Structure 1
Amino acid sequence: MRIMAFDYGTKRIGIAVTDPMQIIATGLDTIHPLQIIDYLKKYFQTEQVERFIVGEPKQMDNTPSQSAIHVKGFVSLLKKTFPEIPVEMLDERFTSKMASATIAQSGMNKKHRQNKELVDTISAVILLQSFMEKDSFF
């Protein structure tokens, strides 16, 4: 079964998933928040997910950021709609900066580097990789 991570934003949600063996994190998509539940229901028709990881927005002093209220609403929606799938929060500080740096180093042209959807998807991948590394014995 896969693990799925979300980089939640009020305009876009970046989504990443592991392979079924939970070895590799891959960017899946970027979806508008109003479309996320329909998107997930369709995805679950062909794939199994055992856990959700949601980026927890925090400020440098470890207090919740302004977007935390929106993320809490999203987590509540996930728990209500998919009660059988546990949800874990993971500190998402710096994921967007790391994603932007990764894109800049990739050699993509300027137009692709400025694609905010790509930043959101890569942020979700970084979040998922962080979760996997946290639970890894390697």
Structure 2
Amino acid sequence: MLTLLAAAAAIVPWGETFICTPTRVWDGDGPVWCAEGPHLRIAGIAAREMDGTCRSNQPCPAASATEARDALVKLLGGARGTLATGHVTVNGPRLTCRSEGSAGGTRTAAWCRFPSGADLSCAMIKTGTVLRWDRYWKGAACR
């Protein structure tokens, strides 16, 4: 298991398992800041950007960016506050994640599971606020 310092925001190498205790959320597919250091990009899904746009090379859900972000925040235990930067603070459950490597910048793309075993990407799809991104889905199955 990879251990990272909270301030590191290092990319977790592909295939590594790591723990993410969410502390703040930007939008519906991340980044999610983890208390352990990584900035998590939720694997296999696409949400609108916070300015309401979608990148030309990704699926574009009908739900607004705010709706997707708020759905993720709810899954992560609910909002604890909002920072001046626009990030919503959470005190989320400890997620067990498997890295898919870099998602650009300081973000680690990863598949994560709640303590119950439920998959975070699947849970977000079930909210109806994000879309499955087939290019990155890699055959995962939602229960």
TM-score of the pair, normalised by structure 2: 0.30
Instruction: Give me the TM-score of the superposition, normalised by structure 1.
Output: 0.31
Q: Which structure is higher in helix share?
A: 1
Q: Which has the larger radius of gyration?
A: 1
